[in-house]
Amino acid sequence: MPWITVISILLCISLIQTTLLFSICIFDVHPDLFLIFTIYFSLNFNPTRSFHVNWATGLAKDLFSSNLFGLNTIMFVIAGYLISIIREEIYRKHLFTQILVTFFISMIYNFISILMLFSTLQSVNFLTMIWKCPTIAVYNALIVPPVFWLLDRLYSPSRFST
């Protein structure tokens, strides 16, 4: 497995996520490039390989975010597992499928994250956070085409065995 490529992409995603995306926010929400990378990898590579990359992606997001440490790692592995269940039943290379999978996984991920944050922090406004859940999912789904296109160019499954 070309881990140097995965680590390089994760470092780039971390840099972009923590700097550039804060200036491109809509309705006080930011897209989640870590989650999009997890979805891309789970759709395009076998479940064993994607498990390891999803774990590393979740760990990277945990290191660069202020959420509960370990939550993203667990959630990304679960998201990858959910995608691996439906992976063979869908046409993975179709843009509409990629957008739908990203939307639904983003909704599930954000809703569970909000529930976890709300259950541990009493000062969090639950209704405000629930409003952000579909907004983030739509934002993630809208940026899937350019991000998946770029990831296909950088980390094409045809160049590496799947």
Mean pLDDT of 33-55: 90
What dotted CATH number matches 3-154?
A: 1.10.1760
Q: Which residues contact 80 (CB under 8 A, 6 or more apart)?
A: 38, 41, 42, 47, 50, 51, 54
pLDDT band at residue 162 under the 50/70/90 scheme? very low
Domain boundaries, the chain: 3-154
Whole-number Å distance between alpha carbons of 47 and 42: 7
Mean predicted confidence (pLDDT) in 98-102: 92
For 19, what's the count of Cα atoms within 13 Å in the CB-facing half-sphere?
6
At residue 25, the pLDDT reads 76
Distance between CA atoms of residues 30 and 24, nearest Å: 7
Burial 23-40 (b: 16+ CB within 10 A, else e): eeeeeebbbbbbbbbbbb
